[in-house]
Chain A
Amino acid sequence: MSEFKQTFNSSLGKKLIMALTGLFLCTFIIVHVGGNLLLFSNDNGFGFNVYANFLTHFPPIEVVAYILYLSILVHALYALILTVKNRKARPVGYAVQAKSDASWSSKNMGLLGSILFLFIVIHMGDFWFKYKYTNEVAFKEYRTDLATGQTTESAYTPASADFSHSVSVENNVEIVRVKDLHARVAHTFGNIWYVLIYVIAMGALSFHLLHGFQSAFRTLGWVHRKYTPIVYAIGTWFFAVIIPLAFAAMPVYYFFCVR
């Protein structure tokens, strides 16, 4: 056990924890952005609400969710520990510091990470907490005629307080009753301040991952002339451009096109 502790308490071990939790969070946002693309489908939130319901009621996902929350906390905590240690390594700074070639994001990971942490708190408070622990998110009923494929929706008031969801088929009509998170999203994204917070946070995400993704590979020691350019390309184009743009498009789309 002491060997184990010694490994993870070393400077390289702490960076390993940062890299592994960081890469896990990278895989998470792929799933998150993929699922949330349902917000763009013009179905009055049917697909999105069913997806949100699945995420909160499928046990394996719930287990992964707890690993995810732990990863966010550990990533932030170790960033703090490492920053304090790094500051201690140079208590007296330089009077003159020349502009270096190093990327802006690599020198501001702490600032970018803090913005993201604040954003995650706001974001989870808005949706995750309200969805799981309050009754602020109303229910909706979707009736799909299985013969024609037509879906109509209406508000639904559950009979008991602990109702979560139901799927049933009556007279060839599929009735799905789920929490209407989509309405909550549309409401939040109708507020210009929330839209701004989300867009700024996605800017921070972009710069954080621009450095973070490839840096994690360096920390793990996975650097090679053959595949490092591919890692850079994925980190830049997929994680720092496509994903933040897709996320930022959601509040912007709802603010300008859905209201």
Chain B
Amino acid sequence: MSNGNMNLTLKVWRQKNAQTAGKFVTYKAESISPDMSFLEMLDVVNESLTLKGDEPIHFDHDCREGICGMCSLYINGHPHGPKRAVTTCQLHMRSFKDGETITIEPWRATAFPIVKDLAVDRSAFDRIQQAGGYVSVNTGVSTDGNAIPIPKVIADEAFNSATCIGCGACVAACKNASAMLFVSAKITQLGLLPQGQPERYRRVQTMVAQMDEEGFGSCTNTGACEAECPKEIKLTNIARMNNDFFSAKLFREESIHEEQHGGA
């Protein structure tokens, strides 16, 4: 097993399912290598739990290279732990001190119900994406990739917003559990590029409507989301979303003509 030199105390949130109440349980993580990732440390703890016949700690993970957005964990009061611009899977144990007590909690939001222990259901994000976070491509001949000129500044802004992995750290960090950083990143990414233009004003309305439906809070422009985002998505995206939304509602309705009533 593990043969590192770090010994840690973990306070982990254990909860059987969404219906039952959860509580913190304390575990010892012994002989941990500082070169392990946070998730590998949990793997070691889970292995010893399994050997003892206990239920292992459930947590979300997938690619473990910081790009899939599956890992979560609210570690010592920070989504994805204390380091800036890293996901939990890319957080190394050398970021902690030997003998430290680490508190691990799930994302806390009504829209992210707990599945089990530290795993939460983030399908609310999928439903927001399905509401309009795409570009409709009709079949036909494939067009040349560089046929449409795009100014570099626009491409850069769109790509910066496109780095959002949809992990939900913004919701976890926000005091209002608002999803606006995520939603605005998607809206910016698609709305800036020419391919996303035709659906730009419809998209912002449907995605915001779905976001409200899911029960996320509102934005107070506090900026906790921007500070904790592992991909450093900018708060300015939210302002851009607001601008697009109000502009869509006030000036960009499909038809400005009044409805005809009665005879010819």
A pairs with B:
yes
Q: B228 — nearest CB in chain A belongs to which residue?
A: A100
Measured CB to CB, the closest approach of chain B to A114, in angstroms, equals 15
Measured CB to CB, the closest approach of chain A to B118, in angstroms, equals 13
Contacts of A102 in B (CB 8 A): 222-224, 227
| Stretch of A39-47, A91-99, A250-258 on the interface side | A91-99
Contact A94 B105 (CB under 8 A): yes
Contacts of A211 in B (CB 8 A): 221
Contact A106 B223 (CB under 8 A): yes
Contacts of A100 in B (CB 8 A): 173, 224, 227
From 210 to 237 in chain A, residues with beta carbon under 8 angstroms from any chain B beta carbon are 211, 214-215, 217-223
Q: B176 — nearest CB in chain A belongs to which residue?
A: A86
- Knowing A86-B177, A89-B111, A221-B240, the reply to whether A15 touches B222 (Cβ < 8 A) is no
From 58 to 116 in chain B, residues with beta carbon under 8 angstroms from any chain A beta carbon are 74, 76-78, 82, 103, 105, 108-111
Contact of B215 among A89, A92, A95, A214 (CB under 8 A): A89
The answer to whether A11 has its CB under 8 Å from any CB of chain B is: yes
Measured CB to CB, the closest approach of chain A to B82, in angstroms, equals 7
Measured CB to CB, the closest approach of chain A to B193, in angstroms, equals 19
Contacts of A93 in B (CB 8 A): 108
The answer to whether A25 has its CB under 8 Å from any CB of chain B is: no
Measured CB to CB, the closest approach of chain A to B97, in angstroms, equals 15
Measured CB to CB, the closest approach of chain A to B229, in angstroms, equals 13
How far apart sit A82 and B219, CA to CA, in the bound complex (Å)? 10
The answer to whether A14 has its CB under 8 Å from any CB of chain B is: yes
The answer to whether B211 has its CB under 8 Å from any CB of chain A is: yes
From 78 to 137 in chain A, residues with beta carbon under 8 angstroms from any chain B beta carbon are 82, 85-86, 88-98, 100-103, 106-107, 109
The answer to whether B38 has its CB under 8 Å from any CB of chain A is: no
- Knowing A10-B208, A89-B109, A221-B243, the reply to whether A109 touches B220 (Cβ < 8 A) is yes
- Return the CB mask of B203-222 against A: 1 if under 8 Å, else 0: 00000110110011111111
How many residues of chain A have a CB within 8 Å of chain B? 40
Contacts of A95 in B (CB 8 A): 11, 24, 103, 105
Contact of A10 among B105, B111, B209, B220 (CB under 8 A): B209
Contact of A98 among B76, B178, B245 (CB under 8 A): B76
The answer to whether B163 has its CB under 8 Å from any CB of chain A is: no
Contacts of A103 in B (CB 8 A): 222
The answer to whether B28 has its CB under 8 Å from any CB of chain A is: no
Pick 22 A–B contacts, CB within 8 A, sort by A. A10-B208, A11-B208, A11-B217, A12-B208, A12-B242, A12-B245, A15-B219, A16-B246, A86-B177, A88-B110, A90-B176, A94-B74, A95-B11, A95-B24, A98-B76, A103-B222, A218-B242, A220-B242, A220-B243, A221-B239, A221-B240, A221-B245
Inter-chain pairs besides A86-B220, A106-B220, A221-B244, 15 sampled, C-beta below 8 Å = A3-B249, A3-B253, A7-B249, A12-B242, A14-B218, A86-B176, A88-B217, A89-B216, A93-B108, A94-B105, A97-B77, A100-B173, A101-B227, A106-B222, A221-B242
8 closest A-B pairs (Cβ-Cβ)? A221-B243, A98-B77, A89-B217, A223-B239, A86-B176, A221-B242, A89-B177, A86-B217
A residues in contact (CB < 8 Å) with B? 3, 7, 10-16, 82, 85-86, 88-98, 100-103, 106-107, 109, 211, 214-215, 217-223
